[in-house]
């Protein structure tokens, strides 16, 4: 099964080109190593409406897997989980649980992360940390479940 991927970097500063986005390219590299096809890429500010617009657009374009990087911490503008929850049909708690549990082996601060997995329309959406190494590590922790998760999400009806 070919997995088509959309990658969204959520960052005020990267969206204003104040610094180079490193998280999106790091996830793209992992996607390509997994033989996934990267169909869409975007950098959006930490704004719920803008992130939701990007997720909807990527889902409409046929991305079976949408990866977000950034906005999963505790800062006032970290809105990624809220944006995804506002669109999701179902949350998949195991993704966040595994990412946090495995990350705790690396840093005690992982307990503060709000990573999650959810189904939006017929796409599996995974919210990853903003730090490139953390995003890549967390994606690796859940990669084994992604093909089946994408397949199941694509079989679900698009509306309730």
80 located within any domain: yes
Residue 160 lies in a domain: no
Domain membership flag for residue 130: yes
Helix (H, G, I), strand (E, B) or coil at 88: coil
pTM (two decimals): 0.95
Supply the range of the domain harboring residue 18: 4-155
Give pLDDT tens digits for 99-125: 999 999 999 999 999 999 999 999 999
Which tokens in the block code for residue 60? 């409409």
CB 71 within 8 A of CB 130: yes
Q: Residue 85: give its domain's CATH number.
A: 3.40.980.10
How many domains does the structure of the chain reveal?
1
List pLDDT tens digits, range 50-66: 999 999 999 999 999 99
Residue 54 located in a structural domain = yes
Determine the Cα–Cα distance for residues 19 and 31; give it in Å rounded to an integer: 23
Flag whether 67 is in a domain.
Answer: yes
Q: Residue 160: pLDDT above 50?
A: no
Q: How confident is the model at residue 158, as a pLDDT?
A: 53
Residue by residue, DSSP assigns 29-52 as HHHHHTT-EEEEEEEE-S-HHHHH
Spatial neighbors of 90 by CB under 8 A, at least 6 apart, are 118, 119
């Amino acid at each position: 099964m070919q997995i088509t991927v959309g990658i969204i970097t959520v960052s005020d500063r990267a969206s204003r080109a104040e610094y180079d986005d490193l998280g999106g390219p790091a996830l793209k590299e992992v996607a390509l190593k997994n033989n996934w096809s990267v169909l869409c890429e975007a950098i959006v500010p930490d704004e719920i409406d803008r992130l939701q617009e990007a997720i909807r657009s990527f889902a409409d374009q046929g991305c079976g897997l949408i990866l977000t990087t950034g906005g999963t911490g505790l800062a006032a503008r970290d809105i990624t989980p809220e944006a995804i929850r506002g669109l999701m049909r179902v949350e998949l708690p195991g993704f966040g649980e595994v990412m946090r549990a495995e990350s705790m082996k690396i840093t005690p601060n992982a307990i503060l992360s709000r990573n999650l997995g959810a189904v939006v329309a017929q796409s599996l959406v995974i919210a990853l940390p903003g730090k490139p190494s953390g995003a890549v590590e967390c994606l690796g922790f859940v990669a084994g479940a992604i093909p089946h998760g994408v397949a199941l999400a694509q079989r679900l009806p698009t509306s309730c």
